[in-house]
Structure 1
Amino acid sequence: MNFNITAGTLARTACLLLALLNQVLCALGKSPLPIESETLNQLVTSGITVIAALVAWWKNNSFTKEAIAADKEYERLRAKNSK
């Protein structure tokens, strides 16, 4: 078998498992993160900012008409070459 699991799939699965574990622990009255609310708020906000910044930096964000046209041409060539 050839598994072509992407890093994105693995990251989303890990996040889902952590969220489910956190939900179960909260339902059982356990505190999964024994830290104060304000500290948690700052950590979550910082984490979201870092993730958004990395995604914005990494992704090819085309804003101009020429860049969008180049993206379409690139996808057309990729599709042509994959056949």
Structure 2
Amino acid sequence: MDRGTLIRTIVLALALINQFLIAAGLNPIPGTEDVWGEVISTIITFVAAAAAWFKNNYVTAKGKKQKEVLEKNGLN
């Protein structure tokens, strides 16, 4: 797994965990409830999910081979 894929995956996981905790009535991110309410948490989760979805994430063996071919031919 390349560095970009790993970072996007971690950020998405943290955003989803935060979203779940806020939905459960907890305030996991330090700050006031007004600042880190559901709206901001939802925006953070949406941005993280969109970035993870739109980027090419080569996580399978086949995907890694595809990435190698693309890089070899200068198509990335």
TM range (shorter): 0.3 to 0.5
State the structure with more CA Rg: 1
The two structures have a TM-score, normalised by structure 1, of: 0.44
Which structure has more RCO (C-alpha within 8 Å, separation ≥ 6)?
Answer: 2
Structure 2 length-normalised TM: 0.48
Greater fraction helix: 1
